Structure 1
Amino acid sequence: MVQYKDDDYGSFGGIAISSDLINQADIILQSIPYESGTSGKKGTSFAPSALRMISKDMQLISRTGINLSNLKLVDKGNISINPINGEFTRKSIYQSMKYLLENSSAPIISIGGDHSITFPLIQALADTEKSVGIIWFDAHRDLLNEFLNSKYSHGSSLRRCIELPKIDPENVLLVGTRYFTSEEEKFLHDHGIGELKQSELEKQLNPIDLMSKKVQEIASRVDSLYFSIDIDGLDPAFAPGTGTPVAGGMSSSDFMNLINKLPVRIRAFDLVEISPSLDPSGITIKALLAILTEILAQIKISYEI
């Protein structure tokens, strides 16, 4: 049995049920307060507790009118991590995710933490499925081979995922990118990784429809989809509480429109790089809660719950 730091939060958004009932869950939530893979300002380890704190204000009807009150959400709490032992933490994340995937068909939402947590999450999914597609919403590509003397930092997480044997680079789509390095540019083109840069999206008459079409194309080629959401994919005006903000991003409204129009089932999501301490106004954590609400609505529709 996977061990969690906290046994049962029990009241996330007013819709959580016992953490032991994963076989009865419509949706499973877990959190990973790990930030040792980040290069920017710290604070992402506080995002899970901040999110739970404001979840009492969560709207149980989404902005598109989907009633969420009957959803059975299991909140498993914090995965056990060690802030000075990355290998232990990656193993703990992997084991937790693998356990949930093998014991429940419910979609899984993981709250970080920094973006380095995503590699072991996707590694676990790849070890339980024949093929996996990845949607990566981020200002950065995260394709560096090594960053800060580590191959497992948040700047290398997508590259580690693409090295997994069940991840075909053609089934990976970067969305909203606007910060580039020559190393990542070469790796992306050499491996045929899909990308919708923020500048390209802004030229489109219907950018949300284009993104939805690209996601559907990937979904048609794989057994399972993973959607990783870095809050710095949003413009800092809408999400200032992040360690590596990049100007010129998507609005929170446009991103929620994308979530609303996702035409396929997503097996797992993560939401990362939120630093509440960098945003005294609370705009960023509120944006996270709003995005999470729309994810729950998308899951309810796509899984026909």
Structure 2
Amino acid sequence: MNKLNVSIIGVPMDLGQNRRGVDMGPSAIRYAGVVERLKALGHTVKDEGDILISQTREEKSPNTTLRNLEQVIEANTALANKVHSVVTEGEFPLVLGGDHSIAIGTLAGLSDQYENLGVIWYDAHADLNTAETSPSGNIHGMPLAVSIGLGHDDLVNIRDFAPKIKPENIVIIGARSVDPGERELIKEKGIKVFSMHEIDKLGMTEVMNQTMAYFLERKVDGVHLSLDLDGLDPLYTPGVGTPVPGGISYRESHLAMEMLYSSHLITSAEFVEVNPILDEKNRTADAAVALMGSLFGESLI
């Protein structure tokens, strides 16, 4: 990765799930020094501010089991348009969440800029639910399904095209909580998954080497990193809404980011699910910013 023009986009969204506080994630990440960290690495950084998010909560929307559907569509449409504008200007979009439903908008804004976009989904969850398979109706568990063209039509067709990405261009890293419907979809669509079993068995170095080789085989022309802080073990990131024990370690995560930096594959990124209300002295936001440092080229020597 050369020195970049980074555009930071905050998305203070908590409508994709039912735990309050994750809307303060972008502020917590900024407070943890993301702008200063990236500037110190020589990148040009522009903070684009926050996407305006509706404060109205519908809970279960009319004629659907999905929570806050209209507001999630509105926010993701605004985000998609902003991301599209940033990429058109040749800048690197760095999106700060907010719950993981914002990935719907990020991918909608990115995907028509690439012929064959790859996606790394660094997460404890697969986020491949639909209204029919979701136990909760929370849209933050659906962004990957929506992005491959499955789900509510108004979500799937943000920016008037679908699908946004190909299932075979996705690599999920860190999965350890997968619902039955998601498991079937992974098998049906041939989605590449490195669960914690593979990470434990192979080690993070081999997982990342295989991930990068997979994208090269697929001849992707860009790779988006979507990193949910609950991908890490909650020992390191306590401020997340859906923690799952037994996750990726802090050091393994830094190694993954360092290897992605060296690969020169990453063309956009988002860091999501930082919830300061559930956190301990901003530890989760601090971890997010430290990982961003490694992703953008920070090294000890």
Contact 2:126 2:177 in 1 (8 A): yes
Q: CA RMSD in A?
A: 2.2
Cα deviation code 1:230-285 (max 9, x no counterpart) = 00000000001001000000111110110101113311100000101111332211
- Pick from 228, 231, 234: which aligns with 2:232? 234
Partner of 2:72: 86
Partner of 2:118: 133
Relative to its length, the structure with more helix (as a share) is 2
Partner of 1:70: 42
Q: Are 2:5 and 1:26 aligned?
A: yes
The list of structure 1 runs, each at least 4 consecutive aligned residues, that deviate by more than 3 angstroms after superposition, is: 56-60, 147-150
| CA shift in 2, pair 1:144/1:56, >3 Å | closer
- Pick from 17, 23, 32: which aligns with 1:38? 17
3-state SS of paired residue (2:296): helix
Partner of 2:279: 279
- Scaled by the length of structure 1, the TM-score of the pair is 0.81
Partner of 2:29: 51
3-state SS of paired residue (1:52): helix
Shift of 1:125: 1.0
Q: Are 2:107 and 1:122 aligned?
A: yes
| CA shift in 2, pair 1:202/1:50, >3 Å | same
Structure 1 CA distance, aligned partners of 2:92 and 2:250? 23
3-state SS of paired residue (2:10): strand
Partner of 2:185: 187
Structure 1 CA distance, aligned partners of 2:34 and 2:172? 33
Shift of 1:116: 0.1
Structure 1 CA distance, aligned partners of 2:269 and 2:97? 11
Structure 2 CA distance, aligned partners of 1:59 and 1:258? 19
Contact 2:5 2:43 in 1 (8 A): yes
Partner of 2:206: 209
Contact 1:58 1:293 in 2 (8 A): no
Shift of 1:42: 2.1
Structure 1 CA distance, aligned partners of 2:211 and 2:41? 31
Structure 1 CA distance, aligned partners of 2:293 and 2:48? 18
Structure 2 CA distance, aligned partners of 1:172 and 1:57? 29
Unaligned runs of 5+ in 1: 1-23, 61-66, 299-305
Structure 1 CA distance, aligned partners of 2:40 and 2:265? 17
Partner of 1:303: none
- Pick from 129, 137, 152: which aligns with 1:144? 129
3-state SS of paired residue (2:297): helix
3-state SS of paired residue (2:128): coil
Structure 2 CA distance, aligned partners of 1:246 and 1:176? 11
Shift of 1:209: 2.9
Give the partner amino acid of 1:87.
Answer: I
Bigger shift: residues 281-290 or 225-234: 281-290
3-state SS of paired residue (1:30): strand
The sequence identity of aligned pairs, in percent, is 28
Partner of 1:21: none
3-state SS of paired residue (1:261): helix
- Scaled by the length of structure 2, the TM-score of the pair is 0.82
Give the partner amino acid of 1:48.
Answer: P
Give the partner amino acid of 2:50.
Answer: N
Unaligned runs of 5+ in 2: 57-70, 150-161
Cα deviation code 1:165-219 (max 9, x no counterpart) = 3522111000000002111110000000000001221011x42232233134214
| CA shift in 2, pair 1:224/1:277, >3 Å | same
